[in-house]
Chain A
Amino acid sequence: MFPMTACDLSVKVRQKHIIGPINLTINEGGITVLMGPNGAGKTTLLKALHGIIRLANGQVTFATPAKTAQEQQSFVFQSPIMLRRSVLENLAYPLMINGQDKQSAMERARTWATKIGLSAHMDRPAPFLSGGEKQKIALARALITSPKLLFLDEPSASLDGAATVEIEALLSEAQSTGTTIIMSTHNIGQARRMASSVLFMKDGQIDAHSAANAFFDTPPTQDAQKFIAGDIVI
């Protein structure tokens, strides 16, 4: 499936230019963290790479055919979207739409519910759980199909420390089992802990793209330097 290549990618919404042109290559393995000020275009870039918003220009290509690549990706949204179903049914949903029979899907969902510490809430309606629990369900639902590429949009925004630790543990495990991760975050600490490479965005463009250590030790641009220092980047 890899490398994933974005070539001259740009997105417009109602004729308004949002991001691009962006040229980017993501290789297999590791966690690429997208950082940048609000409105830089991080979420739009994630959605564009995943193919859920229309591109104004350019294309995203994979080493495998587009349909196969699409089937091997998952996306976790900043505000977790819960189906109006139980925790177990939420977890089993992606397996069932991929043709797995209900019994084995539910069995696998049960394993994941236990893994994320929600075994006591398996039959409760997912939308009524707390934000942290919903985010864990959303992540488990994205990982249950063992995707090769996982996109996450600020997965721990508005979560407390304990929930963030659990989310990061799940992500580290997914990465160690072969899932390539691209995630956006505002949390510089989280980026330092998780990232193997960093993409810094500003005004819809990639301002810097480098290995995480290099990015944090010697920020490649002035804006990146200000951002890491905690200054406001306009």
Chain B
Amino acid sequence: MNDLWNGIQQAIWLTLTLDADLVEISLRSLRVTLSALFVSCLIALPLAAILAVRRFKYRRLIISTLNALMGLPPVVVGLIVYILLSRSGPFGVLGLLFSTHAMVIAQVIIITPLITSIAHQSLRELWSEYHDLLISMNTSKWQRIKTLLWDGRRALMTASLAGFGRAIGEVGAIMIVGGNIDHATRVLTTAISLETSKGDFALALALGFVLIALALAVNFTTHWLGRTEREGRW
């Protein structure tokens, strides 16, 4: 209980004094996670819309696979990305291992199936609502996809936030591919892990509270910008 209280106090103190290390780690956490989220959304959202609108061979297989990959163990992803990016691996020549780029790649692999699956679920429901109308209006496939993505944007935002939540709290994969190098690849989660192993529970908790606050701030800001939960909106 004492550790918890100390953690809260230290978190407040670190935040109020804008501790340089904390700011650096927090900003890196945000940068890595938001980059991964951006790349992931570019892949996941159109893919979800295509899966909702188009009927093609192996569609069901793709959906089942994506659903199964939602529970992809991050450590395994980290290990695979590590092998691929290591000097002896096929992409070793790019020299990405132990960089924030490698961390972004690992996070993209982890969150893309999650965002795609949640987005697909929402867009599938929207498509069943719009199907007859859009078919009767003689819309092209591209117009249907565009309409679904636009009209389902608030549900897609929720899907993206789920991806953000998973990515910002992720530790296993980015520890392996990033290496938790001070001033280079250390992020909030890997720092928490390090401080815990050192026995500095108060600092670990403080970082944990900052991480939670950061995740909440991004969620609230996104909801506020997206005007969700207001009268007459979705």
Q: Which residues of A contact B (CB under 8 A)?
A: 50, 52, 70-71, 74-75, 77, 81, 83-85, 93-94, 97, 124-125, 128
Contact = CB atoms under 8 A, between A and B. Distances in A.
Residue among B133, B135, B143, B151 facing the most chain A CB atoms (10 A cut-off): B133
Given A71-B138, A125-B232, 5 more contacts: A74-B136, A75-B132, A83-B147, A84-B151, A85-B151
B38 interface: no
A83 B136 CA distance: 14
A52 B135 CA distance: 6
Given A50-B136, A71-B138, A94-B137, A81 B232 contact: no
A80 to B, nearest CB: 9
28 contacts: A50-B136, A52-B132, A52-B136, A70-B138, A71-B138, A74-B136, A74-B137, A75-B132, A75-B136, A77-B133, A77-B136, A81-B129, A81-B130, A81-B133, A83-B130, A83-B151, A84-B126, A85-B151, A93-B137, A94-B137, A97-B137, A97-B139, A97-B143, A124-B232, A125-B232, A125-B233, A125-B234, A128-B232
Nearest to B231: A128
Nearest to A76: B136
- Sorted nearest first, the 5 A-B pairs with minimum C-beta distance are A75-B136, A81-B133, A84-B151, A125-B232, A52-B135
A173 B157 CA distance: 43
Contacts of A125: 232-234
A142 to B, nearest CB: 9
Among the interface residues A50, A52, A85, A128, which one has the most CB atoms of the partner chain B within 10 A?
Answer: A52
